[in-house]
Structure 1
């Protein structure tokens, strides 16, 4: 009796496995056929959206270098006094503390090297004179600070002011859009609208109706910060009787979309 039950169960299990396998085959085959049919009944359109944005942030970096003697604490104190004076000036021009960042702070020695000429001993022989090892002559502190400026009317005055207060060099000034999301949203809306209009025009010309939207893809092109002034402008800022005028220009933010529709 037990053997009969086992045999029946074995048959049932085998049949269940066969049914499941057959169902999976039918489903996969049906899905493949539907996809093959779908691929021949779709079309794609593209659309570009471009928004011109005016940069709202300028960024520049400056370096402060302090050198003198072997007393590192004293050099640090001198460097700190100079740096704090410059930062206080920058803040007085309306720049927020969060927009002032120390990028690097380095302390390194400057060595003095000796030149030791060959000393002749006798007629035909020459031997080098013992040469002292290099020694540290000074320590140098090199500090670099970056500044973001949101009020462009202050840029010229800031550049001239930090130079007058002891900045050793100013790097390139770059302009960029702080928050690009709102411009990307506007460009995306324009791109989708153009793609939809193109899809309608194609359907009307080809004599078919547009079905459901199957997929949508997107590429965006955000502007890179661009530079206005380069290295070496510090001399111009220091000597100019009138502070320089800085123009931020404009930047284009582009969104490209690809819409894939079903053909009815």
Structure 2
């Protein structure tokens, strides 16, 4: 290929690239123009609200195991691990799969000897005299006492676990809550009921919201004598909110407080609300 042919190929490539860039530019402009026209054209926006009442099918709660031991870290850790394993074994026996038992926090902290250091207050150092008789007592500050170096006297371990319970009515949620305490948990909290997959319920609520918006749009069009065109946009708002049960106090205060019986737990129902704004063009 000679020099002239190479130049022709380069020029041809540049022309082709220019055509492509020009076509893309026209497309972008046309799209932007269409959107601008749609926004500036006569239109009406109608709001519709859809609600769906759904029964939660998943319960979640957290429990924690806090143990305090001596200076032997291995022994202190083993005490916490033994309790944790005992609770997990209990949950599995009750039909909770290991995939639904998730550690959300684990910590180890040293415990230090506490000392009463610093200025210990005021002390009497004598009596004032006046004319040979005793007067009012006088006081002075004690000498500051230096604080000895902090000594580690032991270690604390804390393990926090979240449990997901499916088919909680069949598994008896109250028995699970009491069981984790009797098997070694110090605290049970954050019990909540949710929909495992709220997408289906949201779609139903959205469909209801759009249907209501359409009905309202037709009513307004009829009363005002206008003609509805195509739908220009649909904006959606709203999200499901988990329902929380009353706060639990099982196991709080250490091992001394243990649930004596399984608490009665009611999941109730959950309302999912979706709001849509439907924008119609006017003919």
Query: Does structure 1 conserve the Cα–Cα contact (< 8 Å) formed by 2:111 and 2:153?
Result: yes
Query: Does structure 1 conserve the Cα–Cα contact (< 8 Å) formed by 2:57 and 2:195?
Result: yes
Query: Does structure 2 conserve the Cα–Cα contact (< 8 Å) formed by 1:100 and 1:148?
Result: yes
RMSD, aligned α-carbons: 3.0
Query: Does structure 2 conserve the Cα–Cα contact (< 8 Å) formed by 1:49 and 1:188?
Result: yes
Question: Of the candidates 118, 139, 150, which is equivalent to residue 155 of structure 2?
Answer: 139
Aligned equivalents of 1:182 and 1:105: distance in 2? 36
Aligned equivalents of 1:215 and 1:130: distance in 2? 74
Equivalent position SS for 2:238:
strand
Aligned equivalents of 2:114 and 2:201: distance in 1? 58
Considering fraction of residues, name the structure with more helix.
1
**Does 1:89 find its partner at 2:93?**
no
- In structure 2, the CA distance between the partners of 1:114 and 1:257, relative to structure 1 (3 Å rule), is closer
Query: Does structure 2 conserve the Cα–Cα contact (< 8 Å) formed by 1:214 and 1:260?
Result: yes
Question: Of the candidates 150, 156, 169, which is equivalent to residue 187 of structure 2?
Answer: 169
TM-score, normalised by the number of residues in structure 2: 0.72
Where do 1:1-264 residues align within 5 Å?
A: 35=37, 39=40, 41-115=42-116, 127=143, 131-153=147-169, 154-223=172-241, 225-234=242-251, 238-241=258-261, 243-264=262-283
Query: Does structure 2 conserve the Cα–Cα contact (< 8 Å) formed by 1:222 and 1:252?
Result: yes
Aligned-pair CA distance for 1:220:
2.1
* 5+ residue gaps, structure 1: 1-23
**Deviating 4+ runs (over 6 angstroms):** 122-126
Instruction: Report Cα offsets for 1:67-111 as digits up to 9, x if no partner.
Output: 111111111122111110110101111112111111111111111
Aligned-pair CA distance for 1:129:
5.5
Instruction: Report Cα offsets for 1:162-214 as digits up to 9, x if no partner.
Output: 11111111113111112111011101111111111111111111223221222
Equivalent position SS for 1:171:
strand
Aligned-pair CA distance for 1:130:
5.3
Aligned-pair CA distance for 1:125:
10
Equivalent position SS for 1:113:
coil
Q: How many residues align?
A: 231
Equivalent position SS for 1:253:
strand
Aligned-pair CA distance for 1:233:
3.4
- In structure 2, the CA distance between the partners of 1:176 and 1:170, relative to structure 1 (3 Å rule), is same
